DNA sequence: TTAGGTTTCG
């Protein structure tokens, strides 16, 4: 039932319209101007019978007379209503009603000359997100309320009555309305097609996750999500199955509202929709989702202040843009500050002074608080368009530890790498955003004289504290010792006992909490296997003991002196002084018939132990373990490395069946 | 159409 009778008010003539709408006068109405958040009000003076267009669409036309100046010639206008709305309006609207419409298209009227009405007409439909409000005396309403008297007025909304589908009841091929809490998002970015794209993953109390891929030519029309935990309302999102899971995708008429997910924060929708319905019921839904999210979603993202940046990690930064500069075709520089000081020396990206945009005085004043962020590839286009002074949230900045060739001091570099993994991107925050308000207050409180005094402190850091790697290195070690009990993902899943999982059918998703008893591979090198491409068999990479055993087994055969000193290698052989009287031969391979320096020399060894082979790899470029046959030197068992170069071992595994 | 979450390697 799309028509809602919202309120019946005694002797009320004011219409309870959404507060963001502003009245537009007929005399100011023209094609091409911005009608977002505007409404037209008038009295219905004429209506035509409901008809069907050639394609079967319902069509209803009314004539509205403006209230502002009844003498004006252009004080009446044609309203063309299409589709379901036409049908609904035809049922409800009567002459003399006060009619309000928002979310309309303004089109040049082809009949203006004949009918003498406004030079434009309005087109209204559900697909365009239009809404109609109608104020009428109760005795005119086709469904007469039981308690109504002639002196009462009713406010009728001819907006669709929206039904919202829980995420666990979505079906392939449907177009639905839904609410969700943002669990993950990629801020709008330039896609490889013609549109901006934003990817949003939602969860709701049904504990089902939905990833939505949203496209629009105008990034402003995509949901204004600023952080995980925000709540969204999507209208007319298309559901499809992709890789065995439901997926949301924009369809014609897609519209969204976004709300701060904080319990107790004002319920103010963020949207660029021309008009939207948002009543008490929706208000309640937001409050309920906030409470659910507070105990079911982890919203502690990787947000950070520059003062708490951790080397080698990724973080989200809320900051103000102070300067920007082109660097090269694939990267662009942003100079930002958040009022705090990064405790490590940070890099400065060299740019030509003429390429640097920003207020020179401010750039100079903030030089000790500002950091350089280099953004790459797909982020360059958006970065170029940013306005100096705007407030940004830059998602997933990489705090990279590095040191330049000519310095022994380690510093931190900030990169926004290419791609959109992990929501990497740049979002512009509006001035009324609560985090921006807080940041502004903080920035105003920063004493720039103090920060300029930090110049001396900065050089102390460069010359002293961080002059060797010790402090930074030990800090890095601490960073790497993150406790394994921190689980930032899959908070929407409850823990399930292992025995329940063992008794369930696959595939399903679970989250477990369990004690680790054993794990494989026990050693890191076991995660790599030797593979025989002929028979596809796999074998462990031999560890030192196995290699030693292979060497010992090959040493049973003594080196064959007939194979020594050929045209391409010089040989030496000796016998060990121990009881085993082991014979060792080393063949130094010539290069251009010359022997080279040890560090450039390739040698082959027969009869050596593991320890001896290791020693030789330290001194010589390459070592090849071999053994003698009657006619030639040959490689050992191919599961052993055939070539050792420093710490690198080369394997040429072929399975034993080949021998 | 585009992307379809799961960090670059500059």
In terms of domains, do A112 and A222 share one? no
CA atoms of A219 and A233, how far apart (whole Å):
17
**A339 and A264 within one domain:** no
| Residue A62 lies inside a defined structural domain of this protein | yes
- Among A6-10, A163-167, A569-573, name the one with the lowest average pLDDT: A6-10
Does one domain contain both A190 and A244?
Answer: yes
Q: Which of A230, A282, A235, A287 is nearest to A259 (CA)?
A: A230
Same domain? For A272 and A363 the reply is: no
Query: Do A590 and A621 fall into the same domain?
Result: yes
3-state secondary structure of A477: helix
Token pair of A96, please?
Answer: 């003399």
Residue A452's pLDDT band (boundaries 50, 70, 90)?
low
Q: What local confidence, expressed as pLDDT, does residue A457 receive?
A: 38
What is the distance between the alpha carbons of residues A530 and A533, in angstroms, rounded to a whole number?
10
For residues A431-458, give the mean pLDDT. 78
Coarse DSSP helix, strand, coil percentages of chain A, rounded to the nearest 5 percent: 20, 35, 45
Taking the C1' atom of every nucleotide in all shown strands and the CA of A423, the nearest one is B5
Q: Among A387, A414, A443, where does a domain finish?
A: A443
Would you say residue A46 lies in a domain? yes
- A243 plus A291 within the same structural domain: yes
Q: How far is the CA of A374 from the C1' of B9 (A)?
A: 14
- Bases of chain B within 7 A of a CB of the protein: 1-10
User: Does the pLDDT value for residue A451 go beyond 90?
Assistant: no
Residues A311 and A431 in one domain: yes
Q: Is the CB of A238 under 7 A from strand B?
A: no
β-pairing verdict for A245-259 and A209-216 = parallel
Higher local confidence (pLDDT), A406 or A628: A628
Compare A549 and A335 and report the one with higher pLDDT: A335
Are both A289 and A389 inside the same structural domain? no
> CA dist A550 to A369, A547, A569, A606, A642, Å?
61, 5, 24, 12, 12
Residue A350 counted as domain residue: yes
Residue A566 pLDDT > 50: yes
Please state, as a whole number, how many other Cβ atoms lie within 10 Å of the Cβ of residue A545: 9
Measured N-to-C along each axis, helices A610-619 and A544-554 cross at an angle, to the nearest 10 degrees, of 100
Question: Residue A233 CA to B6 C1' — how many Å?
Answer: 25
Q: How confident is the model at residue A581 (pLDDT cuts 50, 70, 90)?
A: confident
Residue A103: the pLDDT is 83
A437-475 burial, b if ≥16 CB within 10 A, otherwise e? eebeeebeebeeeebeeeeeeeeebeeebbeeeeebeeb
C-alpha dihedral sign at A455, A459, A464, A465 = positive
Inside any domain, residue A162: no
Look at A314-318, A412-416, A475-479 and tell me which has the smallest mean pLDDT: A475-479
Whether residues A438 and A311 fall in one domain: yes
- Among residues A323, A350, A347, which one has the least CA distance to residue A335? A323
A509 CB burial (10 A radius; 0-12, 13-18, 19+) = exposed
| DSSP state, residue A605 | E
| C-beta separation of A559 from A628 below 8 A | yes
Is nucleic acid strand B under 7 Å from A379's C-beta?
no
Confidence class for position A141, pLDDT limits 50, 70, 90: very low
Of all nucleotides, the one whose C1′ comes closest to residue A377's CA is B10
Q: Identify the pLDDT of residue A139.
A: 46
Q: Is the dihedral of CA A444, A445, A449, A455 positive or negative?
A: negative
Our measurement of CA A331 to C1' B7, in angstroms, reads 18
Looking at residue A448, its pLDDT comes to 79
Question: Nucleotide B8: nearest residue by CA–C1'?
Answer: A417
| b (16+ CB within 10 A) / e for A241-257 | eeeeebbbebeeebbbb
CATH number at residue A42: 2.40.50.140
Per-residue confidence (pLDDT) for residue A291, from 0 to 100: 94
Rounded to 5 degrees, φ, ψ at A129 are 70, 25
Q: What is the pLDDT of residue A424?
A: 97
Name the nucleotide with the smallest C1'–CA separation from A316: B7
- Smallest CA–C1' separation from A183, nucleotide: B5
Interatomic distance A372 CA / B2 C1' (Å): 31
CA to C1' distance (Å), from A414 to B1: 33
* Eight-state DSSP code of residue A579: T
End-to-end CA distance of chain A: 80
A249 Cβ contacts chain B strand, under 7 Å? yes
Is residue A522 situated within a structural domain? no
CB A312 within 8 A of CB A280: no
Q: Answer whether residue A463 shows pLDDT above 60.
A: no
What confidence tier does A10 reach under pLDDT thresholds 50, 70, 90? very low
Residue A120, pLDDT above cutoff 50: yes
Task: Specify the range with the lowest mean pLDDT, choosing from A19-23, A70-74, A184-188, A327-331.
Answer: A70-74
Among the listed residues A406, A403, A411, the one whose alpha carbon sits nearest the alpha carbon of residue A461: A411
Its sign, for the CA torsion A616, A621, A627, A632, is negative
Strands annotated E in A83-130: 98-102, 105-108, 120-124
In a domain, A191, yes or no: yes
Can you say whether the dihedral through the CA atoms of A446, A449, A452, A457 is positive or negative?
negative
Please indicate, yes or no, whether residues A278 and A371 belong to a single structural domain of this protein: no
Q: Report yes or no: A74 and A119 within 8 Å, Cβ to Cβ.
A: yes
B9 nearest neighbour residue (CA to C1')? A417
- Whether residues A127 and A193 share a domain: the answer is no
Q: Which residue has the higher pLDDT, A207 or A470?
A: A207
Q: Which region holds residue A656: left if phi is over 0, alpha if psi is between -120 and 50, else beta?
A: alpha
3 state DSSP class of A158 = coil
Q: Is A193 (CB) below 7 Å from strand B?
A: yes
Q: Determine how β-strand A231-242 pairs with β-strand A175-190.
A: antiparallel
* A199-203, A286-290, A459-463, A471-475: segment of lowest average pLDDT: A459-463
In the structure, how far is the CA atom of residue A259 from the C1' atom of nucleotide B2, in angstroms? 27
Q: What's the pLDDT band for A242 if we cut at 50, 70, 90?
A: very high
Residue A604 belongs to some domain of the structure: yes
Mean of all residue pLDDT scores within chain A: 82
Could you list the residue range(s) of the whole structural domain that residue A618 is in?
539-651
| % of chain A surpassing 70 pLDDT | 82
Domains identified in chain A, total number: 4
Q: Over range A579-590, report the average pLDDT.
A: 90
Q: Is the Cβ atom of A195 within 7 Å of strand B at any atom?
A: yes
The pLDDT tens digits for A391-438 are: 999 999 999 988 766 666 789 999 999 999 999 999 999 999 999 999
Average confidence (pLDDT) over A114-134? 85
Q: What is the pLDDT of residue A69?
A: 58
For residue A87, say whether its CB is under 7 Å from any atom of strand B: no
The pLDDT tens digits for A360-374 are 999 999 999 999 999
Q: Would the pLDDT of A604 be above 50?
A: yes
- Write the CB contacts of A369 (distance below 8 Å, at least 6 apart in sequence): A306, A337, A339, A340, A341, A446, A451
Which of A298-312, A460-474, A544-558, A623-637 reaches the highest mean pLDDT? A623-637
Paired with A399 in beta bridges are: A414
% of chain A exceeding 90 in pLDDT: 46
Mean pLDDT lowest among A32-36, A354-358, A496-500: A32-36
- Separation CA A470–CA A490 (nearest Å): 37
Average pLDDT over residues A275-289: 83
Q: Is the CB of A489 under 7 A from strand B?
A: yes
Residue with more model confidence, A13 or A207: A207
For residues A645 and A604, membership in a common domain is answered with yes
Buried b (16+ CB within 10 A) or exposed e, A176-198: bebbbbbbbbbbbbeeeeebbbb
Q: Which residues contact A132 (CB under 8 A, 6 or more apart)?
A: A81, A85, A89, A99, A100, A101, A124, A157, A158, A159
Give strand letter and number of the nucleotide nearest A400 (CA to C1').
Answer: B8
On the question of pLDDT at A643 being above 70, the answer is yes
Per-residue model confidence (pLDDT) at position A176? 95
Strand partners, A316: A303
- Say if A154 falls within a structural domain: no
Single out the residue in A443, A467, A502 at which a domain terminates: A443
Of A82, A110, A135, which one is at a domain's C-terminal end?
A: A135
The whole-number pLDDT of residue A636 equals 87
Q: How far is it, in rounded angstroms, from Cα A543 to Cα A639?
A: 11
Q: Where is pLDDT greater, at A86 or A656?
A: A86
Burial grade of A217 (CB within 10 A; 0-12, 13-18, 19 or more): exposed
Task: Output A494 or A554, whichever has higher pLDDT.
Answer: A554
pLDDT of A347 reads 92
Q: What residue has its CA nearest to the C1' of B2?
A: A193
With a cut of 90, say whether residue A81 has pLDDT above it: yes
């Amino acid at each position: 039932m799309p028509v809602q009778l919202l309120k019946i008010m005694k002797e009320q003539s004011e219409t309870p319209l959404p507060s963001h709408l502003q009245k537009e006068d007929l005399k100011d109405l023209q094609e091409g101007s911005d009608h977002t958040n505007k409404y037209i009000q008038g009295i219905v003076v004429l209506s035509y019978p409901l008809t069907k267009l050639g394609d079967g669409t319902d069509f209803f036309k009314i004539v509205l007379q403006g209230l502002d100046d009844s003498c004006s010639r252009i004080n009446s206008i044609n309203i063309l209503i299409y589709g379901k709305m036409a049908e609904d309006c035809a049922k409800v609207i009567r002459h003399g009603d006060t009619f309000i419409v928002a979310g309309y298209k303004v089109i040049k009227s082809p009949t203006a000359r004949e009918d003498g009405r406004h030079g434009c007409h309005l087109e209204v439909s559900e697909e365009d997100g239009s809404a109609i409000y109608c104020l009428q005396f109760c005795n005119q309403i086709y469904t007469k309320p039981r308690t109504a008297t002639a002196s009462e007025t009713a406010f009728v909304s001819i907006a669709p009555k929206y039904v919202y589908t829980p995420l666990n009841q979505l079906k392939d091929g449907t177009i639905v309305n839904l609410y969700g809490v943002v669990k993950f998002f990629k801020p709008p970015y330039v896609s490889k097609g013609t549109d901006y794209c934003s990817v949003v993953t939602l969860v709701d109390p049904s504990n089902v996750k939905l990833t939505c891929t949203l496209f629009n030519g105008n990034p402003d029309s995509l949901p204004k999500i600023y952080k995980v935990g925000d709540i969204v309302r999507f209208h007319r999102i298309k559901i499809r199955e992709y890789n065995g899971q439901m997926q949301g995708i924009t369809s014609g008429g897609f519209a969204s509202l976004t709300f701060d997910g904080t319990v107790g924060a004002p319920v103010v929708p963020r949207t660029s929709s021309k008009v939207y319905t948002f009543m008490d019921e929706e208000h309640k839904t937001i409050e309920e989702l906030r409470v659910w999210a507070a105990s079911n979603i982890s919203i502690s993202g990787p947000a950070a202040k520059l003062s708490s940046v951790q080397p080698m990690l990724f973080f989200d930064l809320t900051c103000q843009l102070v300067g920007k500069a082109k660097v090269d075709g694939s990267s662009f520089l942003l100079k930002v500050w958040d009022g705090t000081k990064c405790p490590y020396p940070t890099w400065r990206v060299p740019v030509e002074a003429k390429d640097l945009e920003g207020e020179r005085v401010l750039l100079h004043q903030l030089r000790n608080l500002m950091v350089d962020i280099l953004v790459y590839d797909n982020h360059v286009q958006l970065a170029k368009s940013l306005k100096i002074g705007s407030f940004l949230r830059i998602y997933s900045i990489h705090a990279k530890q590095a040191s330049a060739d000519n310095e022994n001091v380690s510093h931190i570099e900030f990169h926004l790498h290419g791609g959109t993994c992990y929501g990497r991107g740049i979002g512009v925050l509006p001035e009324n955003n609560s985090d921006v308000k807080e940041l502004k207050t903080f920035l105003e409180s920063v004493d720039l004289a103090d920060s300029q005094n930090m110049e001396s402190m900065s050089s102390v850091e460069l010359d002293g504290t961080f002059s060797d790697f010790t402090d930074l290195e030990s800090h890095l070690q601490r960073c790497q010792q993150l406790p394994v009990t921190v689980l930032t993902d899959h908070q929407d899943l409850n823990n399930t006992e292992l025995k329940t999982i063992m008794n369930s059918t696959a595939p399903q998703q679970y989250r477990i909490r369990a004690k680790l008893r054993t794990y494989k591979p026990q050693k890191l090198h076991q995660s790599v296997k030797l593979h025989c491409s002929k028979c596809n068999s796999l074998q462990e990479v031999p560890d030192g003991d196995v290699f030693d055993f292979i060497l010992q087994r090959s040493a049973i055969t003594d080196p064959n002196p007939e194979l020594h000193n050929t045209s391409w290698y010089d040989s030496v052989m000796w016998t060990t002084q121990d009881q085993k009287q082991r014979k060792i031969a080393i063949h130094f391979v010539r290069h251009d018939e010359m022997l080279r320096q040890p560090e450039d020399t390739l040698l082959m060894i027969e009869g050596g132990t593991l320890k001896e082979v290791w020693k030789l790899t330290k001194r010589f470029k390459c070592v090849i373990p071999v053994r003698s046959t009657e006619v030639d030197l040959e490689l050992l068992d191919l599961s052993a490395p055939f070539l050792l170069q420093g710490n690198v071992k080369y394997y040429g595994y072929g399975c034993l069946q080949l021998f």
